[in-house]
Chain A
Amino acid sequence: MKIRRKKRQESEVDVSSFSDVAFLLIIFFILTTTFKLIGGQELNIPSGEDGDSEEQKQLTISLTGKEIFYGEDSKSSLTLRQLRVQLADEQLSTKKEEQRMVVLESDENVVYQRYYNVMLAIRDADGIVALIERDTDE
């Protein structure tokens, strides 16, 4: 008697849907990704270690909670736009490095966004930001 062997069934994993899944993932990533440009400004803040004792007339900007004062004795406040104009008038780019220093003083309650805008204004005018370290007992 002839025994008929059952023909072995070939099993195969269907991979055709893998590409669909992969493309769906790509579309998902393309749609959800946001390319964020990170910007920054280099602050060339002098360390103050090699500062000489010779008194030099330096530009001073004082920030309070809402106002910007230009110059040590200034009593009238400026807007940021006016400050930019004042700094441009100084023509700092034509001066020596030590004359390009702009002392930036700030009240304790000045928010960083305003402080940053003023630092940018100084940088745009080719100034060098100089910080004042206040004594803690003051």
Chain B
Amino acid sequence: MVPMASFGDIAFLLIIFFMLASNFVKEAHIELERVEAGNIEEVDPAPVSVSMDVDGVCYLQGAVQPIGSLESAVSMLIENADDKRVAMTIDKNLVYKQYSEIQMSLVRAGATIIAIGDIGEPSTKDN
């Protein structure tokens, strides 16, 4: 008979490993469809994240943030940081008048914008 007693230990060790190594996304509750493109690179997570959901609601670090005060809030976060990258995730169906202010606020705050998208099939559409 093969001793199976250690199998349980291995299984629990694996579970503990996955639980500790998993990185849970803090913006999981934000409803948005990311843009897709074939020619974007994989990026390291940025320390600050700004998102705009399908309804045009703006979030900073996963919490609702009025767009009028986004610039000052981001400035405060990156002021003394070495890494000034801000991940910007915007719903792909929003229109310019909704997302332009986010871009402008981040530029004014002195952030290095990382425009987040999903790595997908190269776009076959021309426009």
Mark B1-34 against chain A: 1 for CB-CB distance below 8 A, else 0. Answer: 0001001100110110010000000000000000
**Chain A residue contacts of B100, Cβ below 8 A:** 106, 131
A124 at the interface (CB under 8 A from B): yes
Residue in B14, B43, B95, B114 whose CB lies within 8 Å of A109: B95
Residues from 70 to 127 in B contacting A, C-beta threshold 8 Å: 85, 87, 90-97, 99-100, 103-104, 107-108, 110, 112-119, 123, 125-127
B11, A39: Cβ atoms closer than 8 Å:
no
A111, B107: Cβ atoms closer than 8 Å:
no
B64 at the interface (CB under 8 A from A): no
A107 at the interface (CB under 8 A from B): yes
Q: Which of A42-50, A53-61, A93-101 contacts B (4 or more CB under 8 A)?
A: A42-50
B37 at the interface (CB under 8 A from A): yes
B8, A39: Cβ atoms closer than 8 Å:
no
B96, A106: Cβ atoms closer than 8 Å:
yes
B103, A39: Cβ atoms closer than 8 Å:
no
**Which of the four size classes fits the interface of chain A?**
35 or more
B63 at the interface (CB under 8 A from A): no
Q: How far is the CB of B30 from chain A (nearest CB, A)?
A: 14
Q: Tell me whether chain A's interface is mostly helix, strand or loop, or mixed.
A: mixed
B11, A26: Cβ atoms closer than 8 Å:
yes
Q: How far is the CB of A63 from chain B (nearest CB, A)?
A: 8
B126, A81: Cβ atoms closer than 8 Å:
yes
Residue in A19, A39, A67, A116 whose CB lies within 8 Å of B7: A19
B117, A116: Cβ atoms closer than 8 Å:
yes
Residue in A23, A26, A116, A133 whose CB lies within 8 Å of B115: A116
Residues on B lying within 8 angstroms of A by beta carbon are 4, 7-8, 11-12, 14-15, 18, 35-37, 39-43, 45, 85, 87, 90-97, 99-100, 103-104, 107-108, 110, 112-119, 123, 125-127
Residues on A lying within 8 angstroms of B by beta carbon are 15-16, 18-19, 22-23, 25-26, 29, 36-48, 63, 66-68, 79-81, 106-117, 119-120, 124, 131, 133
Closest 3 A-B residue pairs measured CB to CB?
A: A19-B8, A22-B11, A79-B126
